[in-house]
Amino acid sequence: MYRIASKKSLNPTVTQMEIEAPLVAKKARPGQFIILRVNDDSERIPLTVAGTDAGKGTVKIIFQVVGATTEKLNHKMEGEYIQDFVGPLGTATQTDGIKKVCIIGGGVGCAIAMPLAQEFHRIGTEVTSIIGFRNKDLLILEEEFKECSDELIVMTDDGSYSRKGNVTVPLNEMLEEGRQFDMIMAIGPLIMMKFVVATARPFGVPVTVSMNPIMIDGTGMCGCCRLSLNQDGKRITKFACVDGPDFNGYEVDFDEAMTRGRMYTVFERKAYEETCNLFKAKET
């Protein structure tokens, strides 16, 4: 059992927790993830490590309430416990040799992008961060990005805060102006990452994307997190849990990944509604 050391709401649908897990906190690196179960009868879900405190033995996770399991997790209070917390899993983001990086985060993907921006800042890399949200109410982690970025651009789709537009607008402006980056790191919705790759392609800037599809065992055995990559004219299969979650954005078949991501939408919505109704019944 793993104790919830702290809990706070970042916006109406996104929650941050610190979980007491000393062994995970000691070893986890930016880009890696954990798999947790809320209760002993819950499904397993992957969540990216959003920060660690080895001294306190805690691991920070940030999640959006979109399904049954995240709804159950969000009903847990500070001081309560979750059943399982396994990690760190996956391969840490490669930072060697990167002098200038552009970190792009979309929505709750900023929870993954933020610790990467912090790590690059820590090692002396020049960090340009672009973060995007649908509207002002969904904005998260702005202050954290300010602290670790040499330049921060905030975008909202509807223009309710800062600049109006999506994250590819300032990215394209920078590249057309001749700005040089050793790497672009894109983390967010699949459609966002697809268009970041398309924007960067004419300029030949390396793009790394973080792929977090459905995962179950986190060891590559179940095959649920498989991705199709196009390498040197050949189509190959990789597994996000053991080969990733970071991949060369130019190689990822985003259309297939998006199709697979929609396969369980109806089931997930039904499970979420059933869980919500269960909590409402308990409250009344």
Domains (ranges, CATH) in the chain? 2-89 (2.40.30.10), 100-261 (3.40.50.80)
The secondary element (H helix, E strand) that includes residue 283 is helix 265-283
Residue 165: partners with Cβ closer than 8 Å, 6 or more residues away? 155, 157, 159
Tokens linked to 265: 């939408």
**Amino acid 218: pLDDT:** 73
With contact defined as beta carbons under 8 Å apart, do 168 and 196 qualify? yes
Dihedral sign for Cα atoms in the order 174, 177, 181, 184: positive
The secondary element (H helix, E strand) that includes residue 54 is none
- Cα separation of 30 and 5, whole Å? 21
CA atoms within 13 A on the CB side of 238: 22
- Cα separation of 101 and 106, whole Å? 16
pLDDT over 90 percentage in the chain: 69
168, 167, 172, 126: which is closest to 149 by C-alpha?
126
Q: How confident is the model at residue 272 (pLDDT cuts 50, 70, 90)?
A: very low
The secondary element (H helix, E strand) that includes residue 189 is none
Strand partners, 152: 129
The structure tokens 């102006």 sit at 177
- pLDDT tens-digit readout, 172-186: 999 999 999 999 999
- pLDDT tens-digit readout, 199-242: 999 999 999 999 876 667 677 777 778 889 998 889 999 988 88
- Cα separation of 52 and 31, whole Å? 12
